[in-house]
């Protein structure tokens, strides 16, 4: 009889223990699932900065029937451009000169009997790479003065396009990432309030790529920098 009572009590305790364990596990699962509730939001940081470097290729052409005379004309025009740039505030080390490209038109007619006025043509480029953007822009507006001296400028192709560069991205990255993350949290906080939840810690965060674009086609020297951060937050009741 005593053994039966002991076995009965032992079975009861085991049943109660398993029941309690099941309740605890079930409760933990519910809390875990609630803790796993999350919201994913995006935060944008967008700012405008002045470019800090200008790359300005100045291309011109010369033509002649005498090759030696052609080279002399190229050197003369190149010297005029260099002096003009230096008078405008451009330093010697900010000016580079490429090798001229010479074309013999008589060798390119391929049976065409039409005779060109000049046998040889040359294309030359003088490139300015400078941080003094205001000085360069001022010189650009007065380049016609050299045109009046007989220099034929060409600027209708991709290689002669002026470029404005922004090279200080690493300096502004921390501030912009902080701003984007803060804006993302503001959105998440608003969502939590609207859903009657409490915003928790960050579950995951993704930093998007920084993009640098011209503000508009008329102001390529003003750059629009933007980054979007994606953040996932925990939510709880």
Q: Tell me: the pLDDT tens digits for 56-114?
A: 999 999 999 999 999 999 999 999 999 999 999 999 999 999 999 999 887 665 545 56
- What band does 181 get if pLDDT is binned at 50, 70 and 90? very high
Provide mean pLDDT across the span 186-204. Answer: 91
Element (H, E) at 77: helix 67-87
State the CB neighbour count (10 A cutoff) for residue 57.
Answer: 18
Let me know the angle formed at the C-alpha of 130 by 170 and 81, rounded to the nearest 5 degrees: 165
Provide mean pLDDT across the span 200-229. Answer: 94
Three-state SS letters, 176-207: HHHHHHHHHHHHHHHHHHHCCCEEEEEEEEEE
CA distances from 134 to 58, 91, 139, 146 (A): 17, 14, 9, 19
Provide mean pLDDT across the span 120-147. Answer: 92
Q: What is the pLDDT of residue 237?
A: 77
Q: What is the pLDDT of residue 24?
A: 41
Provide mean pLDDT across the span 175-195. Answer: 94
Q: What is the pLDDT of residue 30?
A: 38
Closest CA to 201 of 35, 53, 25: 35
151 vs 5, more confident: 151
pLDDT tens, position by position, 26-45: 433 334 444 568 899 999 99
CA distances from 85 to 36, 56, 61, 62, 132 (A): 65, 11, 18, 20, 12
């Amino acid at each position: 009889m005593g053994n039966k009572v002991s076995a009965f009590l032992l079975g009861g305790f085991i049943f109660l223990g398993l029941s309690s364990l099941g309740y605890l596990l079930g409760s933990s699962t519910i809390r875990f699932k609630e803790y796993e509730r999350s919201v994913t939001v995006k935060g944008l940081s967008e700012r405008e900065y002045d470019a800090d470097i200008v790359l300005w290729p100045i291309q011109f052409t010369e033509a002649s029937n005498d090759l030696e005379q052609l080279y002399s004309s190229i050197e003369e025009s190149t010297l005029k451009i260099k002096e003009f740039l230096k008078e405008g505030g451009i330093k010697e080390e900010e000016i580079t000169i490429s090798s001229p490209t010479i074309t013999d038109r008589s060798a390119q007619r391929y049976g065409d009997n039409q005779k060109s006025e000049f046998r040889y043509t040359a294309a030359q480029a003088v490139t300015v790479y400078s941080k003094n953007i205001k000085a360069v822009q001022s010189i650009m507006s007065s380049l016609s003065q050299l045109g009046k001296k007989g220099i034929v400028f060409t600027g209708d192709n991709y290689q002669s396009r002026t470029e404005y560069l922004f090279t200080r991205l690493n300096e502004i990255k921390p501030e912009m990432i902080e701003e984007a993350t803060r804006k993302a949290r503001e959105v998440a906080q608003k969502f939590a309030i609207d859903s009657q939840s409490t915003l928790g810690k960050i579950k995951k965060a993704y930093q998007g790529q920084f993009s640098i674009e011209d503000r508009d086609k008329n102001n390529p020297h003003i750059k629009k920098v933007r980054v979007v951060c994606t953040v996932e937050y925990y939510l709880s009741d």
